[in-house]
Amino acid sequence: MPVLSVLWGLALLTAVSLSLSWSSSVSYSLAHNEITQAGLTALVEAGVNAAVDGLLEPRAERRWRADGRTYRLDVNGTQLAIRVQDELGRIDLNQTDEAMLSSLLQSAGLDAQAAARLTDKIVDWRTTTALKHLNGAKDRDYAVRDAAYRPRNGPFQSVDELRLVMDMTPEIFARIAPALTVYSGRQFVDPQLAPPEVLRALPGMTAQSAEATVAARAGMDNSAGQIDGNPMTALRGRAFAIRTEFSDASRRVVGDVAVRLTENPQQPFWVLSWSMR
């Protein structure tokens, strides 16, 4: 009996030891992951801060342009590629008209009829009334398809929400998402700031002319077309999408942050959205 008690005691001590060892390993892994994530977040923040500083640079010849061109920055040996897009150059999902939505969908590969049908469903998602367009979809239509959700019947809260619209495919979404925003608050876009995905949807534009426009824009003198006066005042209230990309070990990190500029030097911007992958 004493021998059996000793054996049970040894077994219990072994189990406790293994449990502590496993717990210590898990704690170390969690701490290591948190430190790594904090480092990646800090690099994305560095990209955002550099972009805002560039937009607010008093000297026009050194000011960053918000038309999607790439700027590079070294942060303690990590090379950041930073792009700034003025949201006035994108199509606002909540403000644009049906004609622009249909044109965008056709530029993404849909024929006119399919584009019209999907346009109706997009507009119905954001419309507050129960009335629907000819090819649209409201609560009952989503229920018939056994969808786990219903249309918002109000403004889109994010571009990603467009994925939920009936008949929106991942392929079409991927093609049109770079052209869209929910932050400009304008019905029309500024072609001088528009990315290729928007330019291709504009009347009279083709894929070739859109690329030519972007190339011509890239060759412009940096001070050309810059705003006059104090940029902090001139850009107050404007929204910008900032993408920061860099390599970390074996993967590529992409940080997408949308900000709205203020006129407060102590807090020059508000973060509207943040994602990192």
173 and 97 in a common domain: yes
174 and 97 in a common domain: yes
pLDDT one digit per residue (tens) for the chain, 277 residues: 554 454 555 455 555 555 555 555 555 555 656 888 899 999 999 999 999 999 999 999 999 999 999 999 999 999 999 999 999 999 999 999 999 999 999 999 999 999 999 999 999 999 999 999 999 999 999 999 999 999 999 999 999 999 999 999 999 999 999 999 999 999 999 999 999 999 999 999 998 999 999 999 888 877 777 777 899 999 999 999 999 999 988 889 999 999 999 999 999 999 999 999 9
Q: What is the pLDDT at residue 4?
A: 46
> In this structure, is residue 201 part of a structural domain?
no
Q: What is the pLDDT at residue 182?
A: 98
Residue-range definition of the domain harbouring residue 156? 92-178
167 and 119 in a common domain: yes
> In this structure, is residue 169 part of a structural domain?
yes
> In this structure, is residue 205 part of a structural domain?
no
Task: Extract the runs of DSSP E, i.e. beta strands, from 131-191.
Answer: 180-181
Q: What is the pLDDT at residue 19?
A: 57
> In this structure, is residue 200 part of a structural domain?
no
Left, alpha or beta for 69 (phi > 0: left; psi -120 to 50: alpha)?
Answer: beta
> In this structure, is residue 3 part of a structural domain?
no
Left, alpha or beta for 22 (phi > 0: left; psi -120 to 50: alpha)?
Answer: alpha
We report the CATH number of the domain holding residue 31 as 3.30.1300.30
99 and 72 in a common domain: no
152 and 99 in a common domain: yes
Specify whether the CB–CB gap between 175 and 68 falls below 8 A.
Answer: no
Q: How many domains does the chain have?
A: 2
CA angle, 164 then 194 then 61, to 5°: 135
Could you say which of 118, 150, 178 is where a domain stops?
178
> In this structure, is residue 83 part of a structural domain?
yes
Q: What is the pLDDT at residue 255?
A: 98
We report the CATH number of the domain holding residue 130 as 1.10.40.60
> In this structure, is residue 209 part of a structural domain?
no
d(CA 133, CA 15): 66
pTM of the model: 0.85
